Structure 1
Amino acid sequence: MKNLLSLLFFCFLISCKNEKSSNSYSYNLEASGTIKSFTLDSDVRYNGFYLYTFSDDNGKEYLSFLNYRTNQILFYDFKTNEFLFKLNLATEGPNGIVQPTGFYIEDFDNIYVSSYAYSGLIKVDTTCRIIQKVPYGITSKGYKVLPSYNPASHPYIAPVVIDEKIYITQSAVDRFHPITDTPLSVVIDTIQKNCEGLPLTYSILTEKELQAKDTRFSRIFNGEEFIYSFYVSEDIVVASVGHSDAKRVKVKSKYLDSPAEEQEVSEKGPQLNLEIARYGDLIYDPYRDVYYRFAYPKTTLEDNIRWWGKSVYGRKKFSVIILDKEFKIIGETLFPESIYNSYVFFVHKDGLYISRDYQMIYGQSEDYMTFELFNLVKGNV
């Protein structure tokens, strides 16, 4: 009997140890103290939704973003933070964009913009000449690709180019197509000039998630798989290139209960959108072979402020979940409130850069776009 009790007690200790181990994290994001500031001139009004970094053939690094109000694409030397030049997109004529609605740059040979005046992507060169138009079109099954797509960095839904094919996301708009039958992504063949909807649709969401009436997501490609992060779901969706195989993987923040809460439509809508619990963008760090998923615990904002248009500066309160290459949680960092713009970030060989430009009502200047470097460090959180 004594031996049996000893054995049971030993098993209990092992169980507690395993439970503690499964709930403890080994990695954290730590501020490095490194700050990068890029000067904005008087023509540029802060908007970090169309911002990307890239390198040229010589390894020189750039930061670039679209100032859509003036039809300009700005370029900076990433190392020195120095402003280099602007591309002034034409509004009229044979190379006229009219007004851009989005922007994506892979390198100087692959610059894409979208426009209210054209249902597709427009590829331009560094002289602002249009070198290719990629129409959205209609699939063989009769699905009309929605022109609402914007190649934006928030939500992070950048186009993915694989072997002359462009993979773009689709919004769920019930008046155009049944939501559960709408593909999450379509693929456009730039050589054959046709497009096809991929088999993964919004039906991947549960009934409760659909009832939240917020079908936004971010999407990335890690070189082998597409990963989707729905704002109302604890799960991420991992899909094959052709989207015929897909699985849901639970990635729950320890700071969120349920994100599948319906957003109210009222005069307080913009404020509630910044207060409600939601998940956010998921990005891949190829230098450290990890993923970062942003999460937004429920919070409270001041009632005496007009919050319309303030979402450009991110959320007041957020955390970043750290996943290993198998999508297992290995850490989660809760950030101090009212400092960082959680919608604007980029991965670099140095680490993860996150914008420090939160709501401008708290005193930040619109003369700069500022980022802080965070290092992935090992140690319990």
Structure 2
Amino acid sequence: MRNILKYPLLFCLLLLLSSCSGSQNSKDKKIYSLQPGKGRIVIPIDDNTNCYSMSMFSYMSPEGIPYLSYENEQTNELNFYRLDSCKLSHKIKIAQEGPEAIGRFIGHTVIDLDNILIFDQFKISRINRNGKILDKYNLITDTQIALCHPPTSKVYAPMIVQDSCIYLYQALMYSDKPYDGDALERYPLCIKVNMQTKQTEKLPLTYPRLWETENENGIFTCSRDYDGTNFVYSFFISNSIYVTHDNQTFKKYPCKSQYINGLPKNNYPLDIQATQKESIENASYGNIIYDKYRKVYYRFFQPACELNKQDNIADLMKTGKKFSIMILDKDFQVIGETLFPENTYIPVMFFVLEDGLYISDNNFQNPEFNENVLSFRRMELTEQYEN
């Protein structure tokens, strides 16, 4: 220090450089991305199991064994695979006839391996691993049937079980008259089923004001997840997400993809084929899922694209063509977004484990597609500084 003080000009220069360096670092912004890692889970399946499912969820047992519960629409069965050994653990046949009949089902939630909730539109059945019905909960509120959205993973809206209550979200009923903002704000969004009293009620929370024009009437779908405190909703036509902790009021957070200009289109033609084509081509938000291990949310997005004559619409209705994943921190701020390559992944088939987010890489257009396996690639959450 004495030597430096002998040269005051040199000392001032060093101090200035140090100050500039610190100032520059303070302006650096940390951004995150998801990159395909080396980790992969490949599970052989039998001839009676389809390699695509609309409803699959991961479950961690108290013993620390990770499972994948997988609905097989072909056989009306719920398959359980161990994700540590990549082998089938057991299957549960969901009866369609007889004293334990539930019928065709779509959507489920695993409380534990002997307490599984099965959704079949008008009721929820709680069964054990042998398919025996332990209890039933009718989805009726004030003598009216609640139009609950199926708790699937394709549209990620799992049944949330909290304090012996089941939370589902209520889909908007089809209407010949367009919904305006006032109508949306009168329509209950959340359904609560008390498993002890068997009572079903519509909570005060209603749909947010998603648009203002009077001639909009199209896709009202949303995805919803729960982080232990907040229910977070991703409406597919909104550049924002909506967060509630009490199911009475929302707080709105901007969450716009960098790959969209303006707003997602909400008007769709009445023709089914034209609707399917536009649902693939139009920009749209998708599922939102919470990663409890890294304390972040992932919001999926489908950028606008154009279909080619050789594109298979039936396959693309399952896989989509393009997608990105936005990354949100615990304060619901966007901290990164990753665009993924076409014809490689199935973005609606995913789960989160302690070592990362896994997404199916068994796309029908992928040269490595194999109908005899379930295949998932681990995505690594990486960070870097942006000047």
TM-score range (shorter-chain normalised) is 0.7 to 0.9
Contact 1:351–1:374, Cα closer than 8 Å, also in 2: yes
Taking a change above 3 Å as real, the CA distance of residues 317 and 310 of structure 1, as seen in their structure-2 partners, is: closer
1:343 counterpart letter in structure 2? V
CA positional deviation for 1:109: 3.2
Determine the structure 2 residue equivalent to 1:256: 260
Among 182, 193, 215, which residue is 2:220 paired with? 215
User: What amino acid is the match of 2:346?
Assistant: N
Q: Distance in 2 between matches of 1:113 and 1:103?
A: 5
Q: Mind listing any 5+ residue stretches in structure 1 that lack a counterpart? A: 1-13
Q: Are residues 124 and 293 of structure 1, via their aligned partners in 2, closer, same or farther at CA, if it must alter by over 3 Å?
A: same
Amino acid at match of 1:307: I
Partner residue, 1:284: 290
TM-score, scaled to structure 1: 0.87
Moved more, 190-199 or 271-280: 190-199
TM-fit CA distance, 1:301: 1.9
Instruction: Structure 2: state its 5+ residue gaps.
Output: 1-19
Which amino acid in the other structure matches residue 285 of structure 1? Answer: D
Residue in structure 1 matched with residue 360 of structure 2 by the alignment = 355
**1:331 Cα deviation after fit:** 0.9
- Counterpart of 2:133? 130
Which has the higher mean CA deviation after the structures are superposed, 67-76 or 298-307? Answer: 298-307
- Any idea what SS the aligned residue of 2:86 has? coil
2:249 alignment partner in structure 1: 245
Moved more, 354-363 or 78-87: 354-363
Q: Which residue number in structure 2 is paired with residue 9 of structure 1?
A: none
User: 2: CA distance between counterparts of 1:109 and 1:25?
Assistant: 44
1:57 counterpart residue number: 62
Q: 1:75, 1:369 → 2: CA distance? A: 12
Q: In 1, are the aligned partners of 2:286 and 2:299 still within 8 Å (CA)?
A: yes
Q: Give the 3-state SS of the residue equivalent to 1:152 in structure 2.
A: coil
Structure 1 residue corresponding to 2:281, chosen from 258, 275, 278: 275
- Aligned positions, number: 357
SS at match of 2:156: coil
Which of structures 1 and 2 has the bigger CA Rg? 2
Q: Please say if 1:86 is aligned against 2:86.
A: no
Aligned to 1:199: 204
Q: Which residue does the alignment assign to 2:299?
A: 293
Which residues of 2 match residues 67-86 of structure 1 at below 5 A?
67-86=72-91
Do structure 1's residue 111 and structure 2's residue 112 form an aligned pair? Answer: no
Is the alpha carbon distance of 1:210 and 1:228 closer, same or farther for their aligned partners in structure 2, counting shifts above 3 Å? farther
One-letter amino acid matched to 1:204: R
**Within 1, Cα distance between the matches of 2:351 and 2:207?**
27
Change (3 A) 1:349 1:100: same
Distance in 1 (alpha carbons) for counterparts of 2:49 and 2:262: 38
Q: How high is the TM-score relative to the length of structure 2? A: 0.85
Are 2:343 and 2:365, in contact at CA under 8 Å, matched by a contact in 1? no
The one-character-per-residue Cα deviations of 1:247-276 (angstroms, maximum 9, x if unpaired) are 110001111113431233333322221111
- Cα distance in 1 for residues equivalent to 2:31 and 2:305: 27
| 1:377 alignment partner in structure 2 | 382
Name the SS of the counterpart of 2:313 in structure 1: coil
